[in-house]
Structure 1
Amino acid sequence: MSIFLKNLEIKNFRGIGKRIVKMEKFEKINLFIGENNSGKSTVLIFISNYLKEIQKNTGLNFDPSQNLDLSMEDTNSPIEFSSNMSIELYQAGLDIINKEKRNKVMSFFDDILLNNESILKLNVKINEKGNLEKEILDKNGELINFINMKYYHDCLGDIAGALSVSLSNTSTPSTIWREVIDDYFRLFKSSLQPIKIIPTLRYIDEVGNPFDDYSGKGLIECLAGLDRPDIKNSNDRLKFRKIENFLRDVISNLNATIEIPTNKSAIIVEINGKRLPLENLGTGISEVIMIATFCTLSENEIICIEEPETHLHPILQKKLINYLNKKTSNQYFISTHSASFIDTPDAAIFHVYLENNQTMIKEAILNSDKYNICHQLGYKASDILQANSVVWVEGPSELIYLRYWIECVDSSLVEGIHYSVMFYGGRLLSHLSGDGEEQDDSEEEDVQRFIQLPSLNRNSLIVMDSDKKSDDDKINNTKKRIKKEFEINGGYVWITQGREIENYLNYPDIQEALKANHPRIYDGQDKDGQYDHAFYFKRKPKSGKIEDSIEEKADKVSIAKWIVDNHKQSFTKLDLNDRIYGVVNFIRKANGLEEIEIKPPTGD
């Protein structure tokens, strides 16, 4: 996974004031969505200007003549940022530490700072003179201070010996501590990959300019070099082919080719025997090919992209983000005000907004968070729900399985382009689960609103657990109502033949996944039946007890990821084979594609 910058906290930078803005988990694709002038480019500017300088320069200070981006509300406070780094990353970077002191420093981090697999936080302040002040915070965000702490004296003494630094008493370990902080800072720098930015204004200019940034200057000559590389750079031809294949997907023509003429005057696209300059295909096509080219040229880098949706139709936006996600190796930080990116699979979505004239950033995790973003941007619900097909699932684990099963049967279907996934959750789950409790008026209203959704998009599909405890058990009334409404509106309804979706998995694979994800407490299988809870397992006895007990709270998402990552799938269980082909053909029909033939189930 291309995740080089894991998290970030920023304070006193541009529109961000004294209230710390926390982004606790970055993914490969990170989207910063907000209204104009909300500060959605703030993080990109910080990464592309400040982290880039830290990553590439050996010096530890910034040039104050460059007008540092201090907070607009308090120019006297230093810019401050923090980022976490785990012990694994520290070990990976030990080669930059002097071999003679490596073991002592490593022991210090292992035994004292990082016991119990905790994580430390590097905190850096940049004042108005460009000077850097570095600190290390503990897992609670508190400054680690070794002054007058007898507990650390012996370990610090060992490190002092390794560093050839004298340690006279417990009140003066600052020199040794400074060495440790500097090592930690250098390791943070080494963990960052090269950083580039694709600006808002992009254009393909005339021949002759050097290709030294990602604005479009020199792009024609760069592509010419990829098309006809010398022997030492023969792999560049593969990059050219990737760009060409992306063009074919964008314009829906499998025979299209790209060529650069001898005079390098334009990028020529040949379609069915006709040769046209790229810009003749439309500004949107030219724009999306340009961005895809930049991101293909970069490998294992951090790329910041400002407003990639400019001139792009929503379908082109989705195709671009899918290409970046599936076909490139970079980590992306993207500022946008387009809702078309909001359902990007596995992306981290951050809502950027103003609160008391300060830029605030909050991760959008729940559907309600994403809805609020769309509402603030001026989108209507119908704008979002008019995807070619909308698939409703209960939660993240169901999404992981369904996405994987669809790809196994028809890898040409792409989430975010051919279908979008929505979660039904919250109080509605209790009505779908068959708990037998009566509904109050507000709960009935929730169900009533939900069953109206297929009328907004007739290509709606829903997957529901049956929750049956035996073969004689009945589907509850709420599920029956939903099934009826979806089918009346032309939708597809899948109610599991077993108790829940996990009953479609091979039971030995479930046990292997449970043991791998819960090694400390897993002690054996429970029951393997069509209507049993497939994820219940026997746990090891707790201290003081003789008999083991049944564990009912396995991490379903981690198990689902393990099953998928290890390709543990068979379509032989229950009616899974027929169901997944039904889902695939429903989505294909919604996209105007021909149905595919149902093949016999494969697997153990």
Structure 2
Amino acid sequence: MAEKLANDEKKTFIKSINFENYRGFKNKHVLSLADFGQVTFLSGANNSGKSLIARLFSIFQGHEQFPRGDLSKVSLRMDNFSDKDYHEFDSSEAIKISFEIDCSALGYLSNDFLRSWINRMNGKIFYNFTIMNNLGNIFCYMSVGDGKTETHYFNKVSHKVVYNEDFSMDFDERDAYEFYNTLYHEIRERVLVFDSIRSFDRESNRSFSISGGELLKWLRTRKNHGDIRKAKEQVSHWLLELGLEVPRAVRVDDEDDLLLFTFENHLELSSEEIGTGYTMLYILLMEIARSKKQLILIDEIESHLQPGLIRALLKIIRNQTGVQFVLATHSPAVMEAATAGDYIYRFQKENGQCTFEGFFRSKKGNSREAKMMRSVFDDLGVIPGDALLSNAVIWVEGPSEKLWVRAWLKTYFEVYRKKHKIKGSLLEGLHYSILMTGGSLIKNYSFSEKEISHEDYKVDDQLHVLRVNPNPFVMIDSDNAEAGSKKRLRNLRIAQELNDQNGQSQLFTNKVWEEGELEFHLEEIPNFWLLKGRELENYAHPQLVKEFYKRLCEKSPKVKNVTTLSDSDWDVYSASDGAGSILSERGLTGVDAPSGTLKHKNELAQFVYQNLEADHFTLDGKTPAPNPEMITDLTYQLEKMIRYILRVNNMLPDPPATPTE
């Protein structure tokens, strides 16, 4: 099977899985799978539908032969399906599941006619299952198609499955029955699913699914000694690659249902004593070594493994010839190992509906554009896990801005929570992530500090940036951009894209403005913050700026005249000037960069993160007192940011905030 495929040939076994009206998925969804040697990653929150992908294969569970009768030959008993498997329990519409199969990856079939028939299917076939509630009985009928027509359909008048005489291939219904039966068992023998919970006291009741108990059963048998030896040797080789200690012997403890590992110096440790991570990894590697499957789905591959081991494990997985891997994960370390050839999907659930969309990938698959976008994000240090495993992404321009926003959210959310009586907390990495655009970057980034010409601007690439995560909040320096300037036009383009994207969301359909009037409503866009101050440092509280430079003056001889500034001199809020040039003009030396910003912006950001308090957001909390206009704008925008995060996390039912007079 898998070993029969040429090592250098790019193939897939199952090209895509198509399904509709299944559990949380209402409309038709198409999940394309990556080639052999690549990985399909499924990421997203709990209960967003990732595990349902593996459960789709339960259609192949335990049917050794097909029943006969009026719905005969092409029908299956659906003992493991019920009304609960239909979207919102509505079984009036059929569940449809279709597997697009690459015929060349099937290797050989025992039946000459079936093999010749497959060769006439233009390289691929669609193996379809329709699960219906017919007069109170749930059953499934099969059909095969070429993407346009199918061999069978259900006649609603006669309540029978009928052969389609118009199907283009030259064979009869008896041939179809033989084909279905053979193909059904061929697929079942080529698929393996790892349960998310792996332990020796659990044995799956599904023929293609494993959890741990199956390995003990296999090792106990008095048969397959050669296969057992080969699997153990292969796993020992992999353990060496992973930098882990290799056992000299592994055997089953029949009394306690454990594995016993013997290491150097005859040290024997049970799977309980050696540690969960090592044991779970050994189970996983042994099953991969012995399975010889063509499609392996692993739920939560990161279970009990540290990040370094995860990355090394994924290298081993990629080296498996003729195997497709589908990995469901919550781990940034797993997502970090993704490469340009992988397929990455982000799953979401909103208002009871599960959906997913590709990440770093166009609908056409492995396109040059997708690879380019991925390489740019690699340059930025943005890993898929940062964007995919959070429900919202706050985009800022640089590392100091990340610290400012992190400090503001950490401190001001406590103020907001008391003010609005919000329960719960906001967790970075779950409810939101803060990512940076990197400042002056390639021209494809619309919210780069580098100004670009309209001719160089690429709409498609920019849309990819803003939709890396479907819930972006973008914060941009104004830099005192004049009307009609390139930077002003760039800012308006970003605002327009966010506005258009919000128009497609159920959360913000009542907050969309036409292009001509958008410029007058920038503050009201729920996920856009165009700073009124020239740059973010203009929003520094005077008390924090004064205290920071008092301490810095003691360490740096270049910073002078701190004591000569009055309290009002520490107010650096301005729409036209950088904080560095403002302090320099007031007599402080050694603090301004040529651009007018602060030389010590990163150090100041660290200081603010460590010393920011709730009183810094009020007009009477600290001395020197802050600029009233700065506090008004800052608190309004932070409330908007928090409200947006709460909204996309379904933690706040209210509509987005609107500006106050």
TM-score of the aligned structures, taking structure 1 as reference length: 0.48
User: Highest CA radius of gyration, 1 or 2?
Assistant: 2
